[in-house]
Chains A and B, each alone.
Chain A
Amino acid sequence: MNEPNDSDGTNEPAGPVKRERAKTRNLSRKAQLEMIGIIVIVIIVVTVLMIYLIYKLNNPVNDVRTVYINGEIATNLLITLTKTNIAECHDIALSELITDCAKEYHSITCFGKSSCEMVNASLHELVSMTLVDWNVRFRLFVEGADIEILNDFCDAKANKIRGFTVLPLNPGQSEITLDICN
């Protein structure tokens, strides 16, 4: 049965056995190709999953708690700050001092200090004991008095929460804004 193949001069078996071997070789080559295909698909699936997980981890969902807390702080702080009576200035409310500072002619003096100096000092003191202590990134701006307090403030594109309050002047108004970075 296993006769030498005379045509190509080798000792390869001829006939159905040779065909069978060639068929087996083709099958194994096909199997190898299929295996490579499966590996490629697995690699693609794993890569897509990894990209999805990395994206999910780097972009956490907007935290409701942080948004709520920053919103409450932004609005509450401005309301409470403006109502606070300043002990170093005859217990006058900070809102009155801001109003006086924003006017063209200042009428309040606090033991040798002008209302603007007092507002600046009081705001810095109160804010440093709260927002700065809590590591909150913010920008506090008092329009009219031209007072700006910054603490590691975020860039323009960053997500921020704004609180503002308006103090009436006569004429006009002074607006106090507090931007907190989320």
Chain B
Amino acid sequence: MIGDMRTRADRKAQLQMGETVFVVFIIIIIIVLGLVFYSKVREVQLKEMQRAQRISNFISLAHTLSSWPELECSVKETRDFDCIDLIKLGILGDFINQSKETDSYAFNYYQDFLRRSDIVVREIYPSPQSWTIYRNPGNRKTRDAVSLPVNIYDPISKKYAFGVLELAVYE
């Protein structure tokens, strides 16, 4: 009888051990799942921060370009908003492209400022035509683009044409 009771106690102990092992195993699984979930959430948060930073740079560049001294219209030192000077436009585009070909300091200056981006000014009305001011897409895949309406002012004929400034930033 004593032997029978001891066997039963042993079996009970075994069961309790099994139960403890099972509980520990489940807790480990829960901890691992929690870590995986946390790392995924953190990854999403970091990507979101990266995206916010990219958008901030993009907005800052778009904002700077809309009043860029190299392109803006000015009559007697008075600035005109959302306006691009037709003569400056032609000269700046040629200058940057030539600097890129010769790999001179000027291109490095603009590269430092404009980084990996494309800037194109497109006249829509009355005579459709376009000017590529800067092209440096690199090999990045992510691209943010915006088209901002601008006037293209011809200081000789003193006429305003309607166009868009197309900005694409690669990250």
B-binding residues in A (CB < 8 A): 1, 20, 64-65, 68-69, 72-73, 76-77, 79-81, 83-85, 87, 91, 93, 125-126, 129-130, 134
| Residue contact A85 to B55, C-beta cutoff 8 Å | no
Tell me if B148 is interfacial: C-beta within 8 Å of chain A.
yes
Cα–Cα, bound, A160→B46 (Å): 30
Nearest 8 interchain pairs by C-beta = A87-B126, A84-B162, A77-B149, A80-B149, A76-B149, A85-B159, A65-B55, A83-B160
Contacts of A64 in B (CB 8 A): 52, 55, 59
Docked Cα-Cα span, A65 to B55, in Å, equals: 6
* CB-CB under 8 A for A79 and B147, given A84-B125, A91-B159, A126-B124: no
Task: Determine if B134 is an interface residue (Cβ-Cβ < 8 Å).
Answer: no
User: A68 near B59 (CB under 8 angstroms)?
Assistant: yes
Q: Is the CB of A72 within 8 A of B52?
A: no
Give B144 Cβ to nearest chain A Cβ, in Å: 7
- Contact assessment for B148 and A73 in the assembled complex, using a CB-CB cutoff below 8 Å: yes
Contact status B147-A65, CB under 8 Å: no
State in angstroms the CA–CA spacing of A69 and B164 once bound together: 13
Whether B1 is near chain A, meaning CB under 8 Å from some CB there, is yes
Q: List 17 A-B contacts (CB under 8 A).
A: A64-B52, A65-B55, A68-B62, A73-B149, A77-B149, A79-B82, A80-B83, A80-B149, A83-B151, A83-B160, A84-B161, A85-B159, A85-B161, A93-B160, A126-B124, A129-B125, A130-B149
State the main secondary structure of chain A at its contact with B.
helix
Residues in chain A near residue B124, CB distance under 8 A = 126, 129-130
Which residues 119-171 of B sit at the A interface, judged by CB distance below 8 A?
Answer: 124-126, 144, 146-151, 159-162, 164
With A126-B162, A130-B124 known as contacts, the answer to whether A76 contacts B150 (CB < 8 A) is yes
CB-CB < 8 A to A20: which residues of B? 8
**Inside 8 A of A85's CB, which chain B residues have their CB?**
159-161
Q: How far is the CA of A91 from the CA of B160 in the complex (A)?
A: 9
Chain A residues whose C-beta falls within 8 Å of the C-beta of B55 in the assembled complex: 64-65
For the complex formed, measure the closest distance between the CB of A176 and the CB atoms of chain B, giving whole angstroms: 14
Additional 11 contacts, C-beta under 8 A, given A1-B1, A79-B151, A126-B124? A64-B55, A65-B58, A68-B62, A80-B151, A80-B160, A83-B151, A84-B151, A85-B161, A126-B162, A129-B124, A130-B124
**Interface presence of B81 (CB below 8 A):** yes
With a 10 A CB-CB cut-off, give which of B52, B124, B125, B148 has the most chain A CB atoms: B125
In the complex, what distance in Å separates the CA atom of A20 from the CA atom of B65?
86
> B82: which A residues are within 8 A, CB to CB?
76, 79-80
The answer for the CA separation of A91 and B161 in the assembled complex, in Å, is 10
Task: Contacts A64-B59, A126-B124 given; indicate if A81 touches B159 (C-beta within 8 A).
Answer: no
- Interface members, chain B 47-89 (any A CB < 8 Å): 52, 55, 58-59, 62, 66, 81-83
